[in-house]
């Protein structure tokens, strides 16, 4: 694993696999308390790292399944306590809460999450997971890290900025090849674009994120790429709308977001379609348009 010091007592931890849902990069804060923020390097490897480094708390940045999976093992098999941001920690306390917060329940597809995604990702709910306050991160890093609220991808999503070195840990802002992701009803495009703008205005020198390697050249370009992708998709969605496609299903059928919906197997098609439809809905909402209900 690659470790890069980005501030005094703060290291970036790079997972061996990038662009993967099964792993993500994280930060390690070594102060009076040792806190990890995200970081999945393989389930056994993550547990070993936590034990070796005597990590006492594991702060999950946001509640999406690729970040939360495996945390139940940290909870059960190490002395480290996982926690999730205050806005979202309740969402993974039970299947009921998760299925509601993601909209899977309303769409009638939570059984597919339980049957396909959860086993593949190694996900289980954590009934008693505690919340953390964002200023606990600032305090633990002795002010070396500043929290930048960056909602849109999820309601409690944030980035961490190290002003002295000019490094930004952008979490899931969408720098990887999948691009910005907003496939849940709780995602918000207006907030997302404003978060990208905020990240751009920091004029950072090094850019770190959950699923892609460090970026130190043309950082501005990497951030504005997220904005361009969203804008391009937005004009495609609107062009379908003005050509007379007035339901979310019809526009989603144009595969603007996914070339094919069976990339995770035939059984998972309703899941991928749901993500795609949610993204279409985000664009229509952002444009102030109200789709018709299909008959």
In whole angstroms, how close is the CB of 64 to Zn ion at the nearest point? 3
Please, which residues have CB within 8 angstroms of residue 5's CB and are 6 or more apart in sequence?
Answer: 11, 12
Q: How far is the CB of 181 from Zn ion (least distance, A)?
A: 7
> Which one, of 256, 292, 294, 288, lies nearest residue 275 by Cα?
256
Q: Interface residues with Zn ion (CB under 5 A)?
A: 64, 172
Residue nearest to Zn ion (CB): 64
Shortest reach from residue 28's CB to Zn ion, in Å: 20
Separation of alpha carbons 29 and 11, rounded Å: 7
To the nearest whole angstrom, how small is the minimum distance from the Cβ of residue 83 to Zn ion?
17
- Cα–Cα distances in Å, from 158 out to 78, 104, 161, 254? 26, 24, 10, 32
Taking the least distance from each CB to Zn ion, the nearer of 152 and 291 is 152
Q: Find out whether 61 and 137 touch, Cβ atoms under 8 Å.
A: no
Query: Which is closer to Zn ion, CB of 58 or CB of 241?
Result: 58
- Choice between 118 and 251, CB closer to Zn ion: 118
Q: For residue 209, give both structure tokens.
A: 């994120």
Residue 18 DSSP one-character state: -
Nearer to Zn ion, 183 or 291 (CB): 183
Catalogue the E-assigned strands of the chain.
2-7, 10-14, 24-30, 34-40, 57-60, 81-85, 130-132, 146-149, 158-162, 167-169, 206-208
In angstroms, give the least distance from the CB of 69 to Zn ion: 12
Taking the complex as a whole, the smallest distance from the CB of residue 89 to Zn ion amounts, in Å, to 15
Cβ nearer to Zn ion, comparing 161 with 275: 275
Q: What is the dihedral of CA 112, 118, 124, 129, to 10 degrees?
A: -80
Burial class (CB in 10 A: 0-12, 13-18, 19+), 124: middle
Q: How far is CA 218 from the centre of its chain?
A: 23
Q: How far is the CB of 293 from Zn ion (least distance, A)?
A: 29
Closest CA to 170 of 130, 143, 197: 197
Judged by beta carbon, residue 64 or residue 240, the one nearer Zn ion is 64
Closer of 88 and 172 to Zn ion (Cβ): 172
């Amino acid at each position: 694993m690659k470790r890069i010091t980005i501030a005094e007592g703060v290291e970036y931890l790079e997972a061996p696999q990038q662009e993967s849902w099964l792993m993500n990069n994280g930060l390690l804060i070594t102060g009076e308390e040792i806190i990890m923020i995200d970081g999945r390097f393989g389930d056994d490897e993550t547990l070993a790292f936590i034990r070796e480094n005597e990590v006492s708390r594991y702060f999950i940045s946001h509640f999406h399944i690729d970040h939360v999976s495996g945390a139940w093992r940290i909870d059960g098999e190490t002395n480290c306590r996982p926690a999730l941001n205050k806005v979202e920690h309740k969402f993974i306390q039970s299947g009921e809460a998760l299925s509601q917060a993601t909209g899977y329940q309303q769409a009638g597809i939570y059984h597919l999450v339980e049957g396909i995604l959860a086993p593949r990702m190694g996900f289980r709910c954590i009934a008693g997971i505690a919340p953390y306050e964002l200023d606990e991160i600032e305090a633990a890093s002795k002010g070396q890290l500043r929290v930048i609220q960056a909602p849109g991808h999820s309601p409690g999503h944030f980035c961490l900025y190290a002003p002295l070195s000019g490094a930004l840990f952008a979490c899931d802002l969408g720098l990887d090849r999948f691009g910005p992701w907003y496939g849940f009803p709780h995602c918000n495009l207006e907030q997302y674009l404003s978060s990208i703008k905020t990240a751009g205005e920091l004029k950072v020198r090094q850019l770190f994120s959950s699923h892609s390697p460090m970026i130190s050249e043309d950082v501005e370009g990497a951030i504005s790429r997220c904005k361009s992708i969203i804008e391009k998709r937005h004009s495609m969605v609107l062009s379908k709308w003005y050509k007379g496609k007035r339901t979310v299903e019809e526009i989603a059928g144009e595969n603007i977001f996914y070339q094919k919906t069976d990339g995770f197997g035939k059984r998972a098609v309703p899941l991928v379609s749901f993500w795609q439809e949610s993204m279409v809905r985000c664009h229509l909402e952002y444009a102030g348009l109200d789709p018709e209900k299909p008959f």
